[in-house]
């Protein structure tokens, strides 16, 4: 059966089986590796449907793949060599911009950067700000967030309509939602396909609501003496600047040191006297200021000075500079931390009052219980996100996988059970954290997912399983 299916798909020029071509598609962003039976790169919804249909009928499990920039291994096939990869990278032909509706209908395989390049002449963009350059389909499938979520929300907010290929024996295409901005005619089923990988179907096309590009930006770095001031600082920032705020980002001293070690030429707004922690505050606006208007730099400066006075100087004096230079530090943290040693990365989220309290409590506990662990964290404290990254300095010959597992469990159990947090704020679910989903999802949530599977797909796609039973 399988060989006939492969023969059919090969003849129709829909799949590659050459190992050299397939190999790069078997690797994830964080070094995950698997093996694949074949690689399919459909160029149209019809081709995607045909591939799905043929595979479903022949019992071949498909792993949909977008730009492979995901961080939880969801797009990497397993080791069996029996799974087929369906990459969306050639599904790029559709791009219909509706200027009046401020929306774009496009193929799932288009990169974020490409969509934004095409929207730029009209002063518009999809305002999801990420370190990577993913495809639109993967952004929806993971409901990605990013550094400007506090202003623009997550990917879900921008999805108006989806075209999905179901995993049934016909590879049926269904449409969910519409290009309308409001429509209250019952369950909005598109949400089932947002942030759920390809479990319930493969997203092939979508209509997105887009926004106006910022015209002005200003950024500052504010040193904090310790984490206890953050809750009050967040309140005061929002009182002062309201929705001019487009990012509030936290950086620990350890993360900043790691960034400077990795890229020594980065700007050093604090000189060599790096504070314990700092918060990047960005203001931006998407309308043109007039010549007589105060600049955002002025507004930010005077606002932060007022806060400094109000808090009797408990805040360190803010450091200003060109927004790109300040963001340059922020954007180097991740790679800097990665180079510092063996990394256990966590993508957590909390109520905003808990973000740095978690950090403080857990740093102390880790120091006691797991000597050798260095907390090199940073995150989106404006929306409660914390990339609680741990670098393990234990000598390699003392390290065991059990240690890593124990530390991961230790951190995630505290985050979820004690602090009511999320173990995956914006990276979604994959083999890397499926175990935690199985642990923490309640029976009701699992039963909802199970009830829908027969409707949405004879078989589900991908590596994730939401009913709590691991995928075969």
What strand order describes the sheet that includes 95-98? Answer: 95-98, 103-107, 202-209, 159-165, 173-177
Residue list 332-361, contact with its own copies (CB under 8 A):
349-353
CB of 257 to its own copies, least distance (A): 27
How far apart are the C-alpha atoms of 422 and 430, rounded to whole Å? 15
Whether 423 contacts 416, CB under 8 Å: yes
Indicate the SS3 state at residue 257.
helix
Q: Which of 242, 249, 248, 318 is nearest to 285 (CA)?
A: 242
Q: Is 364 in the site for its own copies (CB under 8 A)?
A: no
Residues in the chain: 472
In this complex, which beta carbon is closest to its own copies, that of residue 84 or of residue 197?
Answer: 197
CB of 195 to its own copies, least distance (A): 5
CB of 471 to its own copies, least distance (A): 14
Residue list 439-468, contact with its own copies (CB under 8 A):
440-442, 444-445, 447-449, 451-452, 454-456, 464, 466
CB of 267 to its own copies, least distance (A): 28
Residue list 288-307, contact with its own copies (CB under 8 A):
288, 290, 292-294, 299, 302
How far apart are the C-alpha atoms of 389 and 394, rounded to whole Å? 15
Which contiguous run of DSSP H or E holds residue 162?
Answer: strand 159-165
CB of 88 to its own copies, least distance (A): 19
Q: Which of 141, 24, 164, 26 is nearest to 82 (CA)?
A: 26
Q: Is 369 in the site for its own copies (CB under 8 A)?
A: no
Q: Is 383 in the site for its own copies (CB under 8 A)?
A: yes
Indicate the SS3 state at residue 84.
strand
Q: Is 244 in the site for its own copies (CB under 8 A)?
A: yes
Q: Is 109 in the site for its own copies (CB under 8 A)?
A: no
Whether 297 contacts 343, CB under 8 Å: no
Whether 40 contacts 21, CB under 8 Å: no
Residue list 175-214, contact with its own copies (CB under 8 A):
178-189, 191-192, 194-196, 211-212
Q: Is 128 in the site for its own copies (CB under 8 A)?
A: no
In this complex, which beta carbon is closest to its own copies, that of residue 254 or of residue 422?
Answer: 422
Within 10 A of 59 (CB to CB), how many other CB atoms are there? 12
Whether 156 contacts 191, CB under 8 Å: yes
Q: Is 235 in the site for its own copies (CB under 8 A)?
A: yes
Q: Is 281 in the site for its own copies (CB under 8 A)?
A: no
Residue list 28-67, contact with its own copies (CB under 8 A):
none
CB of 43 to its own copies, least distance (A): 25
In this complex, which beta carbon is closest to its own copies, that of residue 142 or of residue 389?
Answer: 142
Q: Are strands 84-87 and 38-40 parallel, antiparallel or unpaired?
A: parallel
């Amino acid at each position: 059966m399988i060989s006939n299916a492969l023969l059919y798909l090969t003849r129709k020029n829909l799949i590659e089986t050459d190992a050299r071509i397939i190999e790069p598609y078997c690797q994830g962003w964080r070094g995950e590796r698997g093996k694949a039976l074949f690689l399919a790169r459909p160029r149209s919804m019809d081709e995607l449907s045909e591939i799905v249909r043929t595979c479903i009928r022949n019992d071949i499990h498909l792993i949909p793949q977008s730009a492979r920039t995901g961080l939880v291994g969801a797009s990497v096939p397993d080791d069996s060599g029996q799974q087929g990869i369906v990459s969306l990278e050639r599904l790029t032909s559709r791009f219909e911009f509706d200027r009046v509706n401020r929306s774009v209908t496009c193929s799932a395989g288009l990169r974020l950067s490409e969509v934004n390049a095409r929207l730029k002449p009209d002063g518009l963009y999809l305002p999801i700000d990420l370190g990577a350059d993913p495809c639109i389909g993967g952004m929806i499938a993971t409901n990605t967030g990013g550094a400007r979520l506090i202003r623009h929300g997550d990917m879900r907010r921008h999805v108006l309509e989806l075209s999905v290929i179901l995993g049934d024996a016909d590879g049926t295409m269904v449409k969910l939602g519409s290009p309308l901005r409001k429509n209250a005619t019952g369950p909005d089923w598109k949400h089932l396909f947002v942030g759920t990988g390809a479990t319930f179907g493969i997203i092939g096309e979508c209509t997105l609501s887009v926004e106006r590009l910022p015209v002005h930006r200003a950024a500052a770095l504010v040193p904090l003496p310790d984490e206890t001031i953050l809750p009050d600082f967040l309140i005061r920032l929002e009182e002062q600047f309201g929705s001019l705020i487009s990012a509030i980002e936290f950086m620990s001293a350890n993360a900043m040191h790691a960034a400077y070690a990795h890229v020594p030429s980065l700007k050093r707004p604090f000189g060599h006297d790096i504070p314990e922690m700092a918060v990047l505050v960005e203001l931006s606006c998407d309308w043109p200021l007039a010549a007589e208007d105060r600049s955002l730099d002025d507004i930010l400066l005077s606002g932060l000075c007022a806060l400094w006075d109000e808090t009797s100087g408990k805040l360190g004096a803010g450091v200003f500079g060109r927004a790109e230079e300040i963001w340059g530090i922020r954007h180097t943290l991740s790679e800097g931390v990665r180079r510092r040693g063996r990394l256990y990365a966590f993508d957590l989220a909390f109520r905003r009052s808990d973000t740095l309290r978690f950090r403080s409590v857990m740093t102390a506990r880790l120091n006691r219980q797991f000597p050798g662990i260095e907390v090199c964290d940073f995150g989106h404290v404006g929306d409660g996100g914390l990339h609680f990254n741990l670098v393990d300095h234990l000598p390699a010959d003392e390290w065991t996988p059990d240690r890593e597992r124990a530390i991961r469990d230790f951190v995630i159990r505290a985050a979820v059970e004690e602090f009511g947090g999320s173990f995956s704020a914006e990276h979604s679910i994959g083999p890397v954290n499926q175990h935690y989903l199985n642990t923490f999802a309640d029976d009701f949530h699992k039963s909802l997912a199970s009830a829908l599977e027969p409707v949405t797909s004879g078989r589900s796609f991908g590596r994730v399983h939401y009913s709590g039973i691991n995928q075969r």
